[in-house]
A and B are shown apart, each in its own frame.
Chain A
Amino acid sequence: MPDFGIEAQERLKASSVLVIGAGGLGSPMLLYLAAAGIGKIGILDCDVLDDSNLQRQILFGIDCIGKPKADEAKQRLELLNPYIEIEVHNIQITASNAIEILKQYDVVADGTDNFPTRYLVNDACVILGKPSVYASIYQFEGQVSVFNNLMADGSRGPNYRDIFPFPPEPGSVPNCSEAGVLGVLPGIIGSMQALEVIKVVANVGETLSGKLYTFNALSFESMTYNIKKNFDNDEIIKSGLIDYEQFCGVPAIEKKMKEVSPLELVEWQKSGEKIQIIDVREDYEYDIVNIDGELIPLSAIEKEYAKISTDKKVIIHCKMGGRSSAAIKLIEEKHGLTNLYNLKGGIVNYIRELELDMPIY
């Protein structure tokens, strides 16, 4: 192919690329980078596949549901190109491991879905002097750029902080769970991201270094903006990685609350497992109907938190599940307990599911 000859292909083979996030953007990116013959591909993702992911995470299939994405991705890619090396990082990237992991690779492609990781990856690449190919999506819009690329004069191009020096305050950017994302959009944007990785590695064409490309899927409009480097940002970044979750005010990964269904709870009790049941309703509700839980109303849960066992499973319930999940969030955040379970649907669901002859109020 003109402009992409044997030298370019050999550069691909000799390179190593870390893809962070094996999701909507990661799926097409990993496929095309493997197909292109990148010599070593790292896949970093600590998540397992959920069936709702299959709307856009086309690297996977129903046989992968419930399994670690990074491992499943590796298996898929090995079928596509058995001649490359693929390394799996089944972990969450944090300020304490980012430098160690990223330094093993030539180029980083960030396909993650949260601000703390975006800033972490960007800053780590600036510190290590590595180019980072950026893409992100929201509903019908996508953005692509190449950050920290080596310029002809030996300096580095603009990076994420030069466009977005500070993250949005939590809650000020609408959350995707309010509206979702068009499935094919990460396919398009992730493919563009793979394209930029290939151009950076093979040193061909003109990359999006110094530019921010935006695409609107509904109107099919593209805009490319010029971005300029702010050298002051480098000083700040190079002084060291920070606590990005604190910087952004949100956790990188939302910790899922543990839940138990009424049937599972009954199984635990039958098996003789030592558990504690805590009821966070009010005393007059307890008088109407209860399942012998220890009554600690939600308003008192912080004050009486010492009553919560730490050495067994603790099931917290209320009438329908709302107050109990608030109680769990509060205690997990303040005291870091990991043995709390929310009774799904509360006592109302418990009575219904087990068909008990008890009053529902």
Chain B
Amino acid sequence: MATVLIPTPLRKYTNNTAKVNASGRTVAEIMNDLVSTYPEMKKYLFDGAGTIRSFVNIFVDQEDVRSLNRTETVVETNSIVSIVPAIAGGIYKK
């Protein structure tokens, strides 16, 4: 069980909740649990082959999972898993 920080673009799928709980021992299990609770998030986070999309970064506490064990990174109970997508901001002229 860990706390998952939901980025702004995805909060519409979690009733605007910024922090949700998800179960699992590894990042992969936690992400799967997350999308089974909030299925609309799946296509944003995962591609057709079930891999996490490359513009989505996952951090366990302060560390990028790519410098740990990627989706096999073990997540401790009190850890915070952050989903950080690429953002480019801006406002396009209406």
Contacts and interface: CB of A to CB of B under 8 A. Distances in A.
A128 B74 CA distance: 39
Interface string A206-244: 000000101010110101111110100000000000000
B62 A226 contact: yes
B86 A181 contact: no
Interface residues of B, number: 28
Nearest to A217: B8
A114 B63 CA distance: 26
Nearest to B82: A223
Contact of B9 (A114, A138, A214, A225): A138
Contacts of B5: 223
Given A138-B9, A140-B8, A115 B88 contact: yes
A166 B9 contact: no
A173 B64 contact: no
Given A168-B86, A173-B87, A177-B93, 15 more contacts: A112-B88, A115-B88, A138-B8, A140-B8, A141-B8, A164-B86, A167-B55, A172-B44, A172-B53, A173-B55, A177-B91, A216-B18, A223-B82, A228-B64, A228-B66
23 contacts: A25-B89, A112-B88, A115-B86, A136-B87, A137-B87, A141-B87, A143-B84, A143-B87, A165-B54, A172-B44, A172-B55, A173-B87, A176-B90, A176-B91, A181-B91, A214-B84, A216-B8, A216-B18, A223-B62, A226-B67, A228-B67, A254-B92, A254-B93
Interface of A: 23-25, 50, 52-53, 112-115, 118, 136-141, 143, 163-168, 172-177, 180-181, 186, 212, 214, 216, 218-219, 221, 223-228, 230, 254, 256
